Structure 1
Amino acid sequence: MTAQLLIGPLLRRVTGDRATIWVETSAPTTVRVEAEGGASGSAPTFCAYGHHYALIVVSGLAPGSWHSYRVLLEDHEVWPVAGSPYPPSVIRTRAADDADQPVSLLFGSCRQATPQATGRQLPPDALDAYARRLMADPDHRPDLLVLLGDQVYADETSHKVRRFLRRNRPAGHDGPADQVITFEEYTKLYLESWRDPEVRWLFSTVPSVMIFDDHEIIDDWNTSASWRADMAREPWWRERISAGLASYWVYQHLGNLSPDELDADPLYQKVSAAEDATDLLHDFGLGVDDPGSAENTDQPYQWSFALDLGRTRLVVLDNRCNRVLTPGARAMLPAAEWDWFISQAHGDYDHLVVGSSLPWLMPPAIHHLEAWNEKVSESRRSRRWAAFGEKVRRAFDLEHWAAFGKSFDALGELFRRLGEGGVGAPGHRVGAGGAYAAPASISVLSGDVHHSYVARAEFGHAMATPVMQLTCSPIHNEVPLPLRPLMRVAWLPPVTRAVRGLAKSAGASKPLVRWKRLSGPYFGNAIGTLSLDGRHAQALIEGTTKDGRLHEVVAAEYQP
């Protein structure tokens, strides 16, 4: 049986003179990538759950160059597709000394499958629109696409996927009829979403990194300890969480790793060497489903990752899987992973960019509501009051950084120390006196909330480093019309003061940082670009018009 290319190629990491390319094929085969200029790489596929994947490391790329490439299965060329109307897929490398090169990051979150697959009348897909523009102007391609969660929706499936579930599930299956549960069902989500022609071309020519949010598993994943206890009682949950995390590792996380990190990842080495990695990945998915506890000193599998592009450091955080949910000790990251994050904040860079699927700075009234809810849900005075708080938490999705108050404050304190520089600050060292230089900018890229805005943090005193919240969501979805006025008024000072009073009455402390909205909110489909050049930063969020073009909707410029 001749293997075919099912999904891909996805250009993932470009590091120095090497690049990684991910593919899914229809049968076992050897995948070879040949790039212009003589660079190449090959890898056999590995098998899991009856599916076949490969991650190919292409070596020998010339620095500061563009390399068109082709993909072969055995000796049969499968990419570019014969007769394709799209421009060639290329690998662009940065100069060997790229300190003075600008950096451009494309970002966003929350992308449901194509309109043809969903059957919903959603506004035009912003990623499709960006791909079409890049085809017409390929010289302005970004350095990296940062996808910040909900790349697929396991709990909000299309008509096509639902038909598959009805036809293929065994009689008497007790799982939700319209949600995916097994690994095989998860593969259908990626197949319908990533074979969108424009997006497939975009993924083949712009490097990408990805982090999950809740919908890759289920809405409000790991909201609280009691939520986990309730889900654990569902007879289908173990299969769902195992398949969800295993498929995420294969389809999304593997490509986040550089070639050296792949060599050091013990799971990847076992999976790629196994004749059939199904049992390995099934057990892995169950084993990593543990957000940790205050007493647990074992370090969980780390989904967070970091990379450098020129003078920019990008750190992308796991806001979901490894949460600490122990009442009274709740944290967005377990201690070991927080320490790793702090270590990444040290270093020689000009711009720090933090990828967080959940916004750090929410509309202020919503922030105070979440702070109130955390105190009420952990009340020791009244079980009924705590139970009421838990019901409110789940009903209104109150589980962002503000609902993990200690983590919210710790992140703000880190940014303050970074932004002030000086002796003892966690920035990069300048000179022999122990002083540290403050970064030119700190930007938090986020999604999740289905609207876009830019806000600036204020720490109560003049600070050279601007600290910005850049939220861009959704790429292809929508927020219900009744919620839009609520999200607008949540920025208003009178509403903020009233909800802050409520939070104070429950014992929530005043945030250590204040923030001001500079632009937005915008509620349509959108994609964001963060451009970093020297000490200057520019954020641009573009929405889609009815005819599928992009136009500016939110913008901000900042520098020391």
Structure 2
Amino acid sequence: MPRLVLGPMLRFVDAASATIWVQTDVACEVEVLGARAPTWCVDGLHFALVCPTGLEPGGEHPYEVRLDGVVAWPAPDSPWPPSVIRPPAPGAPTRIAFGSCRITRPHEPPHVLRSREHPDGHGVDALRAFALRAAREGGARLPDMVLMLGDQIYADEPSPALRETLARRPRTADAPEGELADFCEYALAYAEAWDEDALRWLMSTVPCAMVFDDHEIHAEWRISAGWMAEMTAKPWFDRHICAGLKAYWVFQHLGNLSPAELDASELYARVREAPDAGELLGDVMDDAGRQHGHSRWSWARDIGGARLVVIDSRAGRDVTPGAREMVPDREWEWIRDQASAPARHLLLASSVPFLLAPGLHHTEAWDEALTDGAWGRAMAWVGERLRRVAVMDHWASFGRSHRRVVGLLADAAHGRLGEAPSSVVMLSGDVHHCYVAEVGFPAGSGATAAVWQVVCSAFRKELAPHERVVIGFGHSRLAARLAQALARAAGVPDPRIGWRIVDRPAYANQISTLTLDGERAEVAIEAVVDGSWQDPRLETVIERRLASGGGP
């Protein structure tokens, strides 16, 4: 009898349709709410995306998953609330929970201790705490989406349990002990990350949307040309990239697409038709891993009255010295087109922050100029070393791309892309602390939209104590003044907008919720309460009204 290995995961939901992703142990037919789909195969593993249609906007649709006609979800004695698809009702408020960076470790000491308390401590999982609270409330107050902004797995930091499993598998002689080597090992990592009762229930009843960051592939992936040259010289690395991208396509990217986009995907059609699409998908992803052009991973979606544009800020990078780009020209044209769609709120999401604290921003901008030779060859070498040690690979370290973001924000806020939205909110993660930044334009410029950035990280991956000290200094006024002076001395132009961090940065494992209701927008960031690992609890650490409909 077929069984579920992973899932069901509710991925896409609109007013009348949905997609549900599953992994099964054998080939079979998967059925949800009368919709049926056969599994397809990648390297001997079996997956399906089922697309129920004809759903009622604003309704609740409890569902079961049947494999070859037999109920496989929920279990007969399940203690969890029913899995339900809730298509949005017109005009209803929209709630998006989001964050990033979730390392997989046991939910017990020492792993649940704070990083300052134990070297193996990563704190309590905020996403799991969020799921447990929602389950206790019987599914009440569930968001309309969970947006996971990168580092869903740590391919370069397998858990102790996964390392033991990898040690028992046949592997190529050159595969490093601490790296995932093939698609099946990636599948084990995703299963370990998501096959936890509370999270599995949450992901079965709240649409989950995703984008990757570096750790799904390797720490510092595409940070610089020097790094790329060193890593691609290693015989195992191309195979590792290919395996990571294959797994990303299967486990994350496909679920970001609407049923219409899936129907239009030539690659998805070829995968479903192949007896085993492992080699086919490997050839495609091997080419993708070497690409220097348009990314295949960005996506956009309307949710409630908002337009959400999720930007791949990792795989499409050009790291050529002197010509660094976070996204290439063709990709940027697509981003502007997507951001120009009429919406009450424009949401721009990136795994790495668009706007760092000013002290950190100017430091990264200075380092880019330094590495490009502004102060000579010797200091360029120093700049490259600093870039890697401090992991300076955010939008600020790609100056031309950052200026494009600034231009997009200005155009949206001033109504140059069409009617200005009530708010433009940037959503990011990566930096393992949380903050809210307010963006300003010159007085009298005519901007009518409120523009903000909200950064929420990590779900579960605390900063080390020394890293927190560095980040804290980067948020200081002194750091901002010193770093801006360095950047100016290296010839870096000042940004054409201003921004300020309006709340002190929050450290801990955290999850954020953005609420959009008509013209209003507000955000709340919740952190795990210390000492609550046996009964994880969340408390609000930042709360901010972003837009009230009355202008910025």
Structure 1 length as normaliser, TM-score?
Answer: 0.93
- Alpha-carbon displacement from aligned partner over 1:304-344 (angstroms, at most 9, x marks no partner): 00000121000000010001222222111111110000001
Alpha-carbon shift at residue 466 of structure 1 (Å): 1.4
1:558 matches 2:546: yes
The match for 1:20 is 19
Matches within 5 A, 1:381-460: 382-421=376-415, 425-427=416-418, 437-460=419-442
Alpha-carbon shift at residue 262 of structure 1 (Å): 0.2
| 1:302–1:337 contact (8 Å) kept in structure 2 | no
Match of 2:450 among 466, 475, 478: 466
Query: In structure 2, what residue type is equivalent to 1:492?
Result: S
Matches within 5 A, 1:58-457: 58-95=52-89, 98=90, 100-116=91-107, 119=111, 120-137=120-137, 138-170=139-171, 173-292=173-292, 300-379=294-373, 382-421=376-415, 425-427=416-418, 437-457=419-439
Query: In structure 1, what residue type is equivalent to 2:495?
Result: P
* 1:530 aligned counterpart, secondary structure: strand
Mapped to 2, the partners of 1:280 and 1:301 lie a distance apart of 19
Query: In structure 1, what residue type is equivalent to 2:545?
Result: E
Alpha-carbon shift at residue 468 of structure 1 (Å): 0.7
Alpha-carbon shift at residue 61 of structure 1 (Å): 1.2
1:538 matches 2:509: no
Mapped to 2, the partners of 1:75 and 1:530 lie a distance apart of 39
Mapped to 2, the partners of 1:313 and 1:84 lie a distance apart of 36
Mapped to 2, the partners of 1:202 and 1:121 lie a distance apart of 25
| 2:524–2:540 contact (8 Å) kept in structure 1 | yes
* 1:288 aligned counterpart, secondary structure: helix
Match of 2:493 among 509, 517, 533: 509
Mapped to 1, the partners of 2:477 and 2:375 lie a distance apart of 31
Query: In structure 1, what residue type is equivalent to 2:26?
Result: A
Length, aligned pairs only = 532
Query: In structure 2, what residue type is equivalent to 1:29?
Result: C
The match for 2:3 is 4
- Alpha-carbon displacement from aligned partner over 1:517-540 (angstroms, at most 9, x marks no partner): 111311100100000111111011
Query: In structure 1, what residue type is equivalent to 2:233?
Result: R
The match for 2:28 is 29
- Alpha-carbon displacement from aligned partner over 1:538-557 (angstroms, at most 9, x marks no partner): 01100011311111011110
Alpha-carbon shift at residue 490 of structure 1 (Å): 1.3
- Alpha-carbon displacement from aligned partner over 1:192-225 (angstroms, at most 9, x marks no partner): 1110110000000000110000000000000112
Cα distance, 1:177–1:274 mapped onto 2, change above 3 Å: same
The match for 1:524 is 508
Alpha-carbon shift at residue 464 of structure 1 (Å): 2.5
Mapped to 2, the partners of 1:224 and 1:461 lie a distance apart of 38
Alpha-carbon shift at residue 116 of structure 1 (Å): 4.6
Mapped to 2, the partners of 1:380 and 1:116 lie a distance apart of 48
* 2:319 aligned counterpart, secondary structure: coil
| 1:288–1:300 contact (8 Å) kept in structure 2 | no
Cα distance, 1:405–1:301 mapped onto 2, change above 3 Å: closer
Query: In structure 2, what residue type is equivalent to 1:270?
Result: R
Cα distance, 1:385–1:241 mapped onto 2, change above 3 Å: same
| 1:526–1:541 contact (8 Å) kept in structure 2 | yes
Query: In structure 1, what residue type is equivalent to 2:402?
Result: F
* 2:140 aligned counterpart, secondary structure: helix
| Percent identity for Structure 1 against Structure 2 | 41
Mapped to 2, the partners of 1:278 and 1:14 lie a distance apart of 28
Query: In structure 2, what residue type is equivalent to 1:335?
Result: D
The match for 2:115 is none
The match for 1:433 is none
Superposition CA RMSD, Å: 1.5
* 1:192 aligned counterpart, secondary structure: helix
| 1:115–1:121 contact (8 Å) kept in structure 2 | no
Mapped to 2, the partners of 1:367 and 1:543 lie a distance apart of 25
Alpha-carbon shift at residue 291 of structure 1 (Å): 4.7
| 2:375–2:490 contact (8 Å) kept in structure 1 | no
Query: In structure 1, what residue type is equivalent to 2:159?
Result: S
Mapped to 2, the partners of 1:363 and 1:486 lie a distance apart of 12
Alpha-carbon shift at residue 107 of structure 1 (Å): 0.3
Query: In structure 1, what residue type is equivalent to 2:157?
Result: E
Q: Which runs of 5+ in 1 are unaligned?
A: 35-39, 293-298, 428-436
The match for 1:432 is none
Mapped to 2, the partners of 1:278 and 1:213 lie a distance apart of 23
Cα distance, 1:176–1:260 mapped onto 2, change above 3 Å: same
Matches within 5 A, 1:35-46: 40-46=34-40
Mapped to 2, the partners of 1:380 and 1:113 lie a distance apart of 42
Alpha-carbon shift at residue 18 of structure 1 (Å): 0.9
Match of 2:461 among 469, 472, 477: 477
Match of 1:493 among 477, 496, 500: 477
Mapped to 1, the partners of 2:140 and 2:9 lie a distance apart of 19
- Alpha-carbon displacement from aligned partner over 1:416-474 (angstroms, at most 9, x marks no partner): 121112xxx013xxxxxxxxx32100111110000011011122225331111100000
Query: Which of 308-317 and 324-333 deviates more?
Result: 324-333
- Alpha-carbon displacement from aligned partner over 1:27-80 (angstroms, at most 9, x marks no partner): 11111112xxxxx21111101111000000111212210010000110211101
Mapped to 1, the partners of 2:385 and 2:105 lie a distance apart of 34
- Alpha-carbon displacement from aligned partner over 1:248-290 (angstroms, at most 9, x marks no partner): 0000000000000001111101001111101111111111113
Alpha-carbon shift at residue 485 of structure 1 (Å): 2.2
Mapped to 2, the partners of 1:426 and 1:241 lie a distance apart of 37
The match for 1:295 is none
Mapped to 1, the partners of 2:35 and 2:443 lie a distance apart of 53
| 1:418–1:438 contact (8 Å) kept in structure 2 | yes
Alpha-carbon shift at residue 558 of structure 1 (Å): 2.1
Alpha-carbon shift at residue 379 of structure 1 (Å): 1.0
| 1:67–1:92 contact (8 Å) kept in structure 2 | yes
Alpha-carbon shift at residue 385 of structure 1 (Å): 2.4
Mapped to 1, the partners of 2:93 and 2:405 lie a distance apart of 27
Query: Which of 460-469 and 542-551 deviates more?
Result: 460-469
Query: In structure 1, what residue type is equivalent to 2:361?
Result: H
| 1:453–1:522 contact (8 Å) kept in structure 2 | yes
